[in-house]
Each structure stands twice: as structure tokens, then as C-alpha cells.
Amino acid sequence: MKRKWYLFLLVALMSAALVVSGCGSNEKTTAGDTIKIGFLGGKTGNHAHYGIETLKGMQMAVEDINNAGGLLGKKVEIVEGDHGSNSSEAASVTQKLITQKVAAVIGDPTTGITKLAAPICQSNKVVLMSAGAVGTGVVELGDYIFRDCLLDAVAAPVVTKYLAEDLKWKKVALVTTTGLPYSESLTSIFKPALDKYGIEIVTEQNIMEKDNNFSAQVTALAQKQFDGVIFTGYYNEGALFMKEMRKQGLQQVMAGGDGLLGKELYEIGEEAVEGSMVYTGFAVDTNNAVEKTKDFIEKYQAKNNNAQPDMFSAQGYDAVMLIADAIKAAESADPTVYREKLVQTKDWKGVTGTISFDANREPIKSPVYLLEVKDKQFAVKTVIPVTD
């Protein structure tokens, strides 16, 4: 009996120690010496890859700023807010960043968590710059909410135009992953675009996420004549879908958004995805890259064993630079002040291309990179400038 009580006491003490040690780590705010920028994202969990790459890009940007003498004479510092890809923690983490008096919160790379963090940033009047939330209904959440990623609403019509005018596509099959918000919204953007450039949708097929047998849908496609497949889902299903097409003797290629962008596409799809096209807001294109982008790629490679930067690191870099330039222009790190300058951003040159914010604070980015799978690698097929 006595021993049991000691154990109980031990566990209770351990738990109390946890709580108390947590309280102790309450950082003293050193306002004045540095400008703090918050990183919101998952360094662990399902979306860890996105978070880690975004943070890498941010760290490179901060290093560049500090090496060039800092911002308004102060050093810039990143405060990390890791929520472990866990939506229930994200709200607390965002709140924590704000209590640490950050000038801006950068992240989260996913739409869901950005929507969760948005009302908190908005009510505290702190700028939230998402480096990857491409879904709908993000910036509508408040006038302190921004994003710097390539929107499907911008890219899909440009790509459709290319398919119609340069590749002479006349008829397509449209494949949607139902229940996946990304896919459903992309389909709703592609439909009017296809209509506008005179491409006919001969058949629409629906698949489910994590499906791995698409024989029914592909059999339905085999009955029709078409030039290519518009696939709005993710790479796993995309790769398997193409495999099934080749199995049934269909030779068309597919085109889709950056949901298809992942080495898994050609690792799973192998020969079946050769020639398939994916658009993205950033690609390593050493032949055509401008000086600034080349510089970024080289620096990234030097730091990461020659690995190539991806969209998330580049967007993370640009997000910090966008904020920094707005702070410089406004000569203040107060979000209520520099926000005015940020809104006016026009033809701003970053490593991912040119960024302007339109009247609704939505980013208009140029160019769009169209990649093609070639010999089990993504190769830049063409770079399409966004005019308008």
C-alpha cells in the first residue's frame, strides 16, 4: 500500500514538474533590439516537409537581410512556432507567436491551418503571410491576411491557353478527386478556363483519395476520343491512374496542378507518366533563371548538400523579403503601419518571379512554370508569363 502511494506521488510530481518547467520558459521579450518574424508551420507530422522547407527559405532570407546590415538598423530574428501539423495546436501556437510580439507571422503552408490562424492574427492586427495556402477563402478572412503563392485561379487559365494554342488540344477528359478540397476547387477553376479556350470536356470522371483501382473510370475514358487528361488530384492517384490507362492501351498524357508535383509521381507511375505535365510557381531552371533566382538556388544547394530548392523554400524566402521590403518602405515594423505599403506591392521581384497584389490582396504571380516528366525527372517544358 505504501509503495503504491510513492508511485502515485512520483507521477504527480513528474506532471507538476512538466507544468512548472513550462511556465519557467516564458521568454522575456527583448523588444527594441530585434525585429521578430514568426514561423508558423509543422516541423513534425504529416506536413513536416512543407514546414521545414518554408523555414529553410525563411532562414536564408533572414541571413541575407542581416548580412546586408539588417532592417531599420536592427537584426531580424525568426521565432519558430511548430504545431506538428496538428490543427488543434495551431491556434495556441499562433497566439504564442503573437504574445512574443512578432512583426509578422509567416506560414502556414497549408490552407486549413492558415484559415485557423487567420482570425487570431486579424484580431491582434498582425500580418499573416501564408507561403502556400492556395485554397479559396483565405484572404477574405481579414485585411491583415496575405499569401505569396501561385494561385490556381491565375495559373490554370494560363496553362489551359497553352494547351489549346500551342499543343492544339481540342478535347479532354477531366478527372476529379471527390472529397479533396484541393481537387474540387481546381476542377471548378479549370472548367470555365477550358470553355473559354474552346476545349471540350468529353467526359468527367470522379475518383476518391487513396483509391488504387481505376479500371472502371479508365474503361469509361476508352470509349471517348480525347487529346489529354486534366487531372486535378494528387500524385499518388495520378500515377496509378496513368498506369491503368497504359494498361488499357490509352496513350494520352495528363496535365495538372502542383498537387501532382512530387517525386512519387514518376516513382510510382514510371513510364506511364512520361510526358505528363505539371504546373508550379517555382522550378529550378538554370538556363532561364534571373540573377536573383540563380543566386538563391546556388546558396540553397551550398547549404543542403546540393539538394535543389522547391516551391516551399522559395516561397518562404520571398515571404520574408516581401515583408522586409514593406517594413523598409514604411520605416516601421508595426504591422498596422507597414501593412499599407504591403498592400501596394506591385511588380515586386522575388526568387519565384514577379508578385503584385490585386485589389482583393490576392497575389498575381508571373511566370508559371510548366514542367514535364522526362526520364523520371521533372524538366521545365516551358515558362509562361502571366499577362493581364
Partner 1 sequence: MEAIFDFFSNPYYIQILTITGVYLIAALGLNLITGITGQFSFGHAAFMSIGAYTSSLLTLYLHTPFFLNLLLGGIIAALFGVLLGFPSLRLTGDYLGITTLGFGEIVRVVFINTKITGGAFGLAGIPRETNIILVYLIVVLTIISLYLIKNSRFGRGLVAIREDEIAAEAMGINTLFYKVEAFAVGSFFAGISGALYAHLIQYISPGDFGFSRSFEILNFVVIGGLGSIPGTVVGTAILALAPEFLRFVQEYRMLIYGALMVLMMTFRPRGLLGGVDLFQVWRNFRHKGLREKI
**Binding residues vs partner 1 (CB under 8 A):** 7-8, 11-12, 14-15, 18-19, 21-23, 25-26, 43-44, 82, 84, 86-89, 91-92, 95-96, 98-99, 112, 115-116, 118-120, 123-124, 135-137, 140-141, 179-181, 184-185
CA–CA separation, 62 vs 317, rounded Å?
8
Nearer to partner 1 by C-beta: 82 or 258? 82
Residue 84 C-beta: closest distance to partner 1, Å: 7
Q: Cα angle at 221 between 219 and 224, to 5 degrees?
A: 120
Residue 293 C-beta: closest distance to partner 1, Å: 31
- The answer to whether 127 touches 121, Cβ cutoff 8 Å, is yes
Nearer to partner 1 by C-beta: 49 or 96? 96
Nearer to partner 1 by C-beta: 30 or 123? 123
Paired strand residues for 373: 378
Q: Tell me the backbone φ, ψ of residue 384, rounded to 5 degrees.
A: -105, 120
Would you list the DSSP string of 253-299?
EEEE-GGG-STHHHHHHGGGGTT-EEEES----TTT--HHHHHHHHH
Residue 9 C-beta: closest distance to partner 1, Å: 11
Residue 327 C-beta: closest distance to partner 1, Å: 24
Cell of 51: 514546414
Residue 19 C-beta: closest distance to partner 1, Å: 6
Residue 128 C-beta: closest distance to partner 1, Å: 13
> Is the CA virtual torsion 363, 367, 368, 369 positive or negative?
negative
Nearer to partner 1 by C-beta: 95 or 332? 95
Nearer to partner 1 by C-beta: 118 or 326? 118
Contacts of 186 (CB under 8 A, 6+ apart): 152, 156, 232, 256, 257, 259
Q: How far is CA 78 from CA 3, 30, 60, 75, 111, in A?
A: 48, 13, 11, 10, 22
- State the virtual CA torsion across 184, 190, 192, 195 in degrees, nearest 10: -130
Q: How far is CA 77 from CA 22, 33, 51, 80, 302, in A?
A: 22, 10, 17, 10, 22
Nearer to partner 1 by C-beta: 360 or 387? 360
Residue 160 C-beta: closest distance to partner 1, Å: 23
Residue 226 C-beta: closest distance to partner 1, Å: 28
CA–CA separation, 134 vs 109, rounded Å?
9
Nearer to partner 1 by C-beta: 18 or 359? 18
Nearer to partner 1 by C-beta: 97 or 384? 97
CA–CA separation, 55 vs 39, rounded Å?
7
Residue among 109, 43, 113, 106 nearest 77 (CA): 106
Residue 197 C-beta: closest distance to partner 1, Å: 27
Nearer to partner 1 by C-beta: 120 or 154? 120
Q: Tell me the backbone φ, ψ of residue 104, rounded to 5 degrees.
A: -155, 155
